[in-house]
Structure 1
């Protein structure tokens, strides 16, 4: 036996090409990257984020769950840095997840409205008697 060959007489394994070395795409131009970063305006972007639908709900849910996970991790392990990492991770995942789910519901509502299947009268915040009256009035109009 010679060298570090542990194949016990079998043929050698084929070499696997590294995709990074054989990537046919050209490297991004530095000017494009710099111009992309110049278009960012954090003050404007953060000020308009509050006007975005679902933003407040997502941040509140993320902050509550992140704080809870961080505190539980700190009480169990006592490691402050690890607990902070777990809490921040839970905050990020929850915020992104609830924001995406909220926008998914908005897209569904828009599709239903576009198809004409959604009732015109909103009965979400009405008591049951008012709901029945609104539904009966809507059915008479049809």
Structure 2
């Protein structure tokens, strides 16, 4: 058996600080929160969402992935509610993932264009150049 050492020369353990439960930042003012919710306009905000880049592709990819996950879960386990939950979770994760990846690629292209490594090409100029070349080729053939 081990003996208990109660001598006065025994080292004490350091005090463990208690966790801080209160956030040191001030809580948001109620008026700020209310004004933020009042500034939302669902019809305008959600109708303009489809005009943003990557929106349509992200929702289509998310819906396809969520449907696939839900069907696989339903076939494997046979539980409808669980399959629906898995399908919705797959939809959300795939939509957010493809949205973020698409915006990442847009940022990469903008950085490359800003650094001057890739020239900015106007598609109208390219189309006009192709038309001029086609006209010149027809004139040579005649």
TM-score by length of 1: 0.71
Distance 1:79 1:19, change over 3 A: farther
- Higher helix fraction: Structure 1 or Structure 2? 2
Q: Which runs of 5+ in 1 are unaligned?
A: 1-8, 123-129, 131-142
Residues 1:89 and 2:89 are matched in the alignment:
yes
Q: Which runs of 5+ in 2 are unaligned?
A: 5-11, 123-129, 131-142
Distance in structure 1 (CA, Å) of the matches to 2:28 and 2:120: 51
Distance in structure 1 (CA, Å) of the matches to 2:16 and 2:53: 51
1:23-102 matches, within 5 Å, as 23-102=23-102
Which of the two has higher C-alpha Rg?
A: 2
Distance in structure 2 (CA, Å) of the matches to 1:43 and 1:13: 59
**Number of aligned residues:** 116
Q: CA deviation at 1:19?
A: 3.3
Distance in structure 2 (CA, Å) of the matches to 1:24 and 1:58: 38
TM-score by length of 2: 0.71
| 4+ residue segments displaced more than 4 Å | 11-16, 119-122
Q: CA deviation at 1:81?
A: 1.2
Residues 1:19 and 2:20 are matched in the alignment:
yes
